[in-house]
A and B are shown apart, each in its own frame.
Chain A
Amino acid sequence: MANPEMDRANELPNEQEVVRRAAAGDKDAFGVLYRAYAPRIYAVVYGLLMNRDEALDVTQVAFLRAWRALPRFQLGRPVFPWLYAIARNRSFSRMASNKASSQAVELQERHGSASDGHDRMVELRHDLGSAMAKLSLEQREIIVFRHFQSLSYKEIALVIGCPVGTVMSRLHNTRKALRVLMMDWEDDT
């Protein structure tokens, strides 16, 4: 708890103990890690690849690799950034080899958000999803972490392995790009 900034990137309360057991070959402990982090890894990978089946496959492959690499994992480090780095590498190489990906990110209405009416919401989900698909992988990644996982700049920097300044400028540039892509939408509000 020395660094509360890192808590969301490091959500499991007794994470290090669970990792130690998993590294020693305890599959149930590995299951605890899987249940804690697989949905988050999947969500980000889906945001990158825009394809549910591919995202699930990459998530599973990443966890298989993690299981193999766990005995070499440096205890004391947070697990999510490490797991995500494995999934990220898979996603980037898959995206490079597979150009025929989807044309839009499938978005859902967030529970509890102020509703604009059904048709308007469907339109917003569609337009934002298509706009996101036009961004680069790095841009989609940073949007997903900031907007859909609510990570701080420090946490994003830790997870994607770059300086905080890079996070700030990449996020700002991405928002500017999205704003341009959503220009028509903004005009008719």
Chain B
Amino acid sequence: MRCHEVGELLSALLDGELSSSEEQDLLRHVQVCPVCSQEFRDLQRLEDMMSKVCLPDLPDAAWEEHWSCLYNKLERRIGYLFAGIGITLLLIYGFFELLHMWFLNPAVSLLLKMSIGILGVGLIILCISTSREKLLSRRYDRYKELVR
């Protein structure tokens, strides 16, 4: 084995990730090469430092609190879903009621029908436009997140 072949294998040796034959090959070289053996000692020193520290953790009680917060959010999601379905159904019902009682009623003036009709069309266009914008920005966001 030559020095230029050693490189990242030293890390793998340190982590016990080499097969026994790879390990023997590498150790044979490291034992006789001062450059690679110095590099291995440096890696070991870093490993030694890293083994003395760890990342901060949260107490179990904090996790329980966070879980109950998350649980409430999950539950509320179902609430929002049902409320959303209810509102949609009501709107559809209201629309047909309005159509039936108002637009098909000859007693209501044509001008009023027209203004309400135009207002309705305007609102529908605004609704479609904003939801399309939201959908597009969300799709862009997802695409950005997928980039590794």
Binding site for B on A (CB under 8 A): 27, 30-31, 34-35, 38-39, 42-43, 46-47, 52, 56, 59-60, 63-64, 67, 89-90, 92-93, 96, 105-110, 113-114, 116, 121, 124-125, 128, 143-144, 146-148, 152-153, 161, 168-169, 171-173, 175, 178-179, 182, 185-186, 189
Closest partner residue, chain A, to B7 (CB atom): A172
- B residues less than 8 Å from A124 (CB atoms): 49, 52-53
- B residues less than 8 Å from A46 (CB atoms): 55-56
| B43 sits at the interface (CB 8 A) | yes
Asked if A60 and B66 sit within 8 Å, CB to CB, the answer is yes
A-B pairs with beta carbons under 8 Å apart, 10 shown: A27-B71, A39-B57, A56-B58, A64-B70, A64-B73, A121-B52, A128-B49, A153-B17, A172-B11, A173-B8
Closest partner residue, chain A, to B78 (CB atom): A25
For the residues of A in contact with B, the DSSP-based class is helix
Assembled-state Cα–Cα distance A124/B17 (Å):
27
Residue in contact with A186 in the complex, picked from B7, B45, B51, B75, CB distance below 8 Å: B45
Q: What is the minimal beta-carbon distance from A43 to any residue of chain B, in angstroms?
A: 5
- B residues less than 8 Å from A52 (CB atoms): 56
User: Which 7 interchain pairs have the tightest Cβ spacing?
Assistant: A172-B8, A172-B11, A89-B145, A107-B53, A113-B52, A110-B54, A147-B50
Asked if B8 and A168 sit within 8 Å, CB to CB, the answer is yes
| B4 sits at the interface (CB 8 A) | no
Return the CB mask of B28-67 against A: 1 if under 8 Å, else 0. Answer: 0000000000000011011001111111111000010011
- A residues less than 8 Å from B50 (CB atoms): 128, 143, 147
Assembled-state Cα–Cα distance A129/B96 (Å):
65
- B residues less than 8 Å from A161 (CB atoms): 148
Asked if B53 and A125 sit within 8 Å, CB to CB, the answer is yes
- B residues less than 8 Å from A171 (CB atoms): 8, 11, 15
Asked if A175 and B11 sit within 8 Å, CB to CB, the answer is yes
Asked if A172 and B42 sit within 8 Å, CB to CB, the answer is no
Q: What is the minimal beta-carbon distance from B82 to any residue of chain A, in angstroms?
A: 14
| B101 sits at the interface (CB 8 A) | no
Asked if B146 and A172 sit within 8 Å, CB to CB, the answer is no
Assembled-state Cα–Cα distance A109/B91 (Å):
60
Asked if B63 and A175 sit within 8 Å, CB to CB, the answer is no
Q: What is the minimal beta-carbon distance from A40 to any residue of chain B, in angstroms?
A: 10
Asked if B52 and A148 sit within 8 Å, CB to CB, the answer is no
- A residues less than 8 Å from B52 (CB atoms): 109-110, 113-114, 116, 121, 124
| Of listed A105, A128, A144, A147, residue having the most chain B CB within 10 A | A147
Asked if B70 and A34 sit within 8 Å, CB to CB, the answer is yes
Residue in contact with A108 in the complex, picked from B7, B55, B69, CB distance below 8 Å: B55
| B144 sits at the interface (CB 8 A) | yes
Asked if A43 and B57 sit within 8 Å, CB to CB, the answer is yes
Residue in contact with B66 in the complex, picked from A27, A56, A169, CB distance below 8 Å: A56
Assembled-state Cα–Cα distance A47/B53 (Å):
13
Q: What is the minimal beta-carbon distance from A85 to any residue of chain B, in angstroms?
A: 10
Closest partner residue, chain A, to B11 (CB atom): A172
- B residues less than 8 Å from A175 (CB atoms): 11, 43, 46
Q: What is the minimal beta-carbon distance from B79 to any residue of chain A, in angstroms?
A: 13
A42-B58, A179-B43 are known contacts; what are 18 more A-B pairs with Cβ within 8 Å? Answer: A30-B74, A31-B67, A31-B71, A38-B63, A39-B57, A43-B55, A46-B55, A96-B144, A108-B54, A109-B53, A124-B53, A128-B49, A146-B15, A168-B17, A171-B11, A175-B11, A182-B46, A182-B49
